[in-house]
Structure 1
Amino acid sequence: MEKDAVIRNALRQTKEYDERLSPYATKNSECIKVRVSKKPITHLDIRWPYERDIDRILYSKSYRRYVDKTQALSFFSNVHITKRSLHVQWVSRIARQIGRGLNLNTDLIEAIALGHDLGHAPYGHVGEKALNDALKEKGVGFFAHNANSVRNLLFVERKGRGYNVSLQVLDGILCHNGEIINCRYEPDTNKTAEQFWEEYHRCWVEEDASSHIAPMTLEGCVVRISDVISYIGKDIDDAVNAGLIKRSDLPEEVTSVIGDGNDTIINRLIGDIVVHSYNKPYLEFSPEVYEALIKLYDFIGEKIHHNPILVKENEKLYRMVRELFDIFYEDLNAVGIKKYLANMNEDYLKSPRELLVTDFLSGMTDTYLLDYYKKVFLPKWHTDFDDE
């Protein structure tokens, strides 16, 4: 009886929580699982639906590998240069702030934010481009880290069994594209599970399909813009620390509106979007802030992401990923991938060879890939030889 009382109280609290949310928020009662669970409930679980997804993501192997994956600057030894582990935490924090200001479901927001980059390749977008070009060359499709994040959760984790993650979380991860900045973000509230799966598969067979899909929830839209807010100011701080630019290089028409430091940029963007989106079924920037944000995005693209120093070094990183892809593709018994495949279940092993290689490579951390490349392509030096 005591257990029943705890369960009834938890359910009542969930209902009360849902009733306090914005009419445009995703309710816990609307949570949809992509799989029918066959596992019997043998213990009391008082977590709300999206909290379970948060825990699945936090304890996944993909999440642990965030700690040694690049955000933007791949080859700087400065410990204060952002790694992807910090980026996803900042996205989560920013998104929850916006979600709280708009009275949305912050559990759903946190789950999407923490999982949005699980499928990123080593060395960030350089590794992503290398894998994308490799799949294109094989004529089997395309690689996009957002779709790969979904694949990791559903089909790779737990030796290929995957996790039973909620549809709304998976959809937010799939549609988080932070490379596109809009003045307004509107959710596709009529999206069905069937449409989600169609969009997921399209991301693998149609180049740039990720640019043409929108989240099914307002919470997904929050994470999408929070991804931008998280990196756009921090990339500037990282570039200044690395000596690529000076803060005084920033355009005055940008700094006069949203500031020149990560903290002021974040606060200005969060405040603007909450004020202009309150009690609305979409997110929206003010015209002046949106214009400044676009100019800042163009600036970091030209002065940071396409900086000649980065471009030169990124070409080397690109070649490393491509060459390792070719090695593994030609020989699935190569050291490393053989052990990886031996630990996976039979259903997973039915995946196309190209995806098996892509899964293995995209799961590597920066350091692991570099060490493996040295092992494969560089000679082993010997210091002691017998005299003849």
Structure 2
Amino acid sequence: MIFLKKEDKIIHTSLVETRLMDERLSPYATKNSECIKVKHTHKPLIEFDIRWPFEKDIDRVLYSKSYSRYVDKTQALSFFSNVHITKRSLHVQWVSRIARQIGRGLNLNLDLIEAIALGHDLGHAPYGHVGEKAIDDCLKERQFGYFNHNANSVRHLLFIERKGIGYNVSLQVLDGILCHNGEILSRIYKPDKNKTIAQFWEEYEKCWHVEDYSKKIAPMTLEGCVVRISDVISYVGKDIEDAMTVGIIKEDDLPEEVVNVLGKDNKSMINRLIGDIVIHSYRKPYLEFSEEVYQALEVLFGFISTHIHHHPTLVKENEKLTRLVKQLYNAFYDDLTDDGNDDSGIDNHVRKMIETYQETPNELIVSDYLSGMTDSYALQVYCDRFLPKQHGEMI
């Protein structure tokens, strides 16, 4: 980029550079000049920023408090004490790395891909999908709606960060986060390219008020589709390696039809899956797996669900974690409705937020507060609240 002294020329040169960079991208890529903001700000037009539009969103995600909490949120095996078990912080980095490899192969917008990938799990509850399901149950019991980490990630970025002021993240990034659902597998991923801001807000609201609606929506960009499939690629092999590390499964347990096509370790699986989707999606406005690889991936999906995520050991321990999260939710809800208790953690959370946040329904305030907790902090609060403390000295 060329730097000139006069501010108007700096802006003009920046626009020229943006246009030149956009011309190098695939015709199916999202252009930097197409970046749309969902919030209106009043920054002076002469303000200059060296970063490309979606680079700014990367930084907004990286410097958010929600991103800092990734480090103490586990991926699938929440209760195993092993430093080599995948943490959420590693997972989002791996998603970003895989997605950028696919994006480079297809000549897409790598900044947009990275922003979506790093931010896609910001709204995850403590203990991953177990905590997510527990909060969802609590909202349904109160007839408020439904909880899913996709919509909650968007909520945290826009309405919770910076004491409720939020960040001015672009529509394309927010949409990619909202639509990233990695629990759904498809052979073909087509973007909803005609999506508008109004449609995005409608989908966001329906995710809170229509059950399983997050599973029915598609990203508006091809970059969002890349992150969606990269979420899958990043965890299938790693969940297997983690399960082997803690002794839940053995290498010989893997289905032969999976090993023959995808290999038997994380490295082989990632390499085959990335290569297959780049080859079969090249110069296409959508992503596509070959039939052979997709069938093997479907078998692997089923194997992971049965032998890892629903392993008897995990089911037993996850029932305890579910009770833990639900008890915390109910306790925090009681704190909010108890006028005589204004020194609780959740009341302090509300007082720190901007004035308009006070109008938020109690059900959602509790969801905000609890979903923002890390695994260890949720456990600490639970122990302090529900378990007896030792008093006095041993004689």
Number of aligned residue pairs: give it: 386
Alignment of 1:316-355 (within 5 A): 316-332=320-336, 333=342, 335-355=344-364
The answer as to 2:11 corresponding to 1:2 is no
Residue identity opposite 2:40 in structure 1: V
The equivalent residue for 1:242 is: 246
Give CA deviations for 1:321-345 in whole Å, capped at 9, x if unaligned.
Answer: 0001000101123621122112111
Give CA deviations for 1:234-291 in whole Å, capped at 9, x if unaligned.
Answer: 0000000010000110001000000010011001000000000000000000000000
Alignment of 1:264-303 (within 5 A): 264-303=268-307
Q: Is the 8 A contact 2:11 2:46 kept in 1?
A: no
Local SS of the residue matching 2:74: coil
The equivalent residue for 1:128 is: 132
Q: Distance in 2 between matches of 1:41 and 1:378?
A: 57
Q: Is the 8 A contact 2:335 2:344 kept in 1?
A: no
Q: Distance in 1 between matches of 2:6 and 2:276?
A: 46
Q: Distance in 2 between matches of 1:114 and 1:343?
A: 26
The equivalent residue for 1:36 is: 40
Structure-2 change in CA distance of 1:301 and 1:382 (3 Å): same
The equivalent residue for 1:216 is: 220
CA displacement at 1:7 relative to structure 2: 3.9
The answer as to 2:376 corresponding to 1:373 is no
Pick the aligned partner of 2:313 from 300, 303, 309: 309
Q: Mean alpha-carbon deviation: is it higher for 4-13 or for 28-37? A: 4-13
Alignment of 1:68-83 (within 5 A): 68-83=72-87
CA displacement at 1:6 relative to structure 2: 4.3
The equivalent residue for 1:233 is: 237
Q: Distance in 1 between matches of 2:71 and 2:392?
A: 35
CA displacement at 1:383 relative to structure 2: 3.0
The equivalent residue for 2:369 is: 360
Q: Is the 8 A contact 1:7 1:46 kept in 2?
A: no
What's the RMSD between the two structures over aligned residues? 1.3
CA displacement at 1:41 relative to structure 2: 5.8
Give CA deviations for 1:341-363 in whole Å, capped at 9, x if unaligned.
Answer: 12111111211100000000000
Residue identity opposite 2:228 in structure 1: R
Local SS of the residue matching 1:178: coil
Local SS of the residue matching 2:81: coil
Q: Mean alpha-carbon deviation: is it higher for 41-50 or for 63-72? A: 41-50
Alignment of 1:113-192 (within 5 A): 113-192=117-196
Local SS of the residue matching 1:78: coil
Local SS of the residue matching 1:237: helix
Identical counterparts, % of pairs: 69
Q: Distance in 2 between matches of 1:356 and 1:99?
A: 37
The equivalent residue for 1:67 is: 71
Local SS of the residue matching 2:43: coil
CA displacement at 1:37 relative to structure 2: 1.0
Local SS of the residue matching 2:114: helix
Q: Distance in 2 between matches of 1:314 and 1:42?
A: 54
Q: Distance in 1 between matches of 2:42 and 2:240?
A: 48
Q: Distance in 2 between matches of 1:330 and 1:304?
A: 36
Residue identity opposite 1:375 in structure 2: D
Q: Distance in 1 between matches of 2:39 and 2:152?
A: 19
- Name the TM-score, length of structure 1 as normaliser: 0.97
Give structure 2 stretches of 5+ with no counterpart: 337-341
Q: Distance in 2 between matches of 1:277 and 1:3?
A: 44
The equivalent residue for 1:51 is: 55
CA displacement at 1:13 relative to structure 2: 1.9
Q: Is the 8 A contact 2:126 2:374 kept in 1?
A: yes
The answer as to 2:120 corresponding to 1:111 is no
Give structure 1 stretches of 5+ with no counterpart: none
Q: Distance in 2 between matches of 1:188 and 1:233?
A: 29
Q: Distance in 2 between matches of 1:201 and 1:155?
A: 14
Local SS of the residue matching 2:44: coil
CA displacement at 1:8 relative to structure 2: 3.6
CA displacement at 1:97 relative to structure 2: 0.4
Q: Distance in 2 between matches of 1:199 and 1:246?
A: 41
The answer as to 2:204 corresponding to 1:195 is no
Q: Mean alpha-carbon deviation: is it higher for 324-333 or for 40-49? A: 40-49
Q: Is the 8 A contact 1:328 1:334 kept in 2?
A: no
Local SS of the residue matching 1:128: helix
The equivalent residue for 1:92 is: 96
Q: Distance in 2 between matches of 1:338 and 1:135?
A: 19
Local SS of the residue matching 2:268: helix
The equivalent residue for 2:339 is: none
Local SS of the residue matching 1:331: helix
The answer as to 2:105 corresponding to 1:101 is yes
CA displacement at 1:3 relative to structure 2: 4.6
CA displacement at 1:44 relative to structure 2: 2.8
Give CA deviations for 1:163-216 in whole Å, capped at 9, x if unaligned.
Answer: 111000000000000000000000001111111100000000011001110000
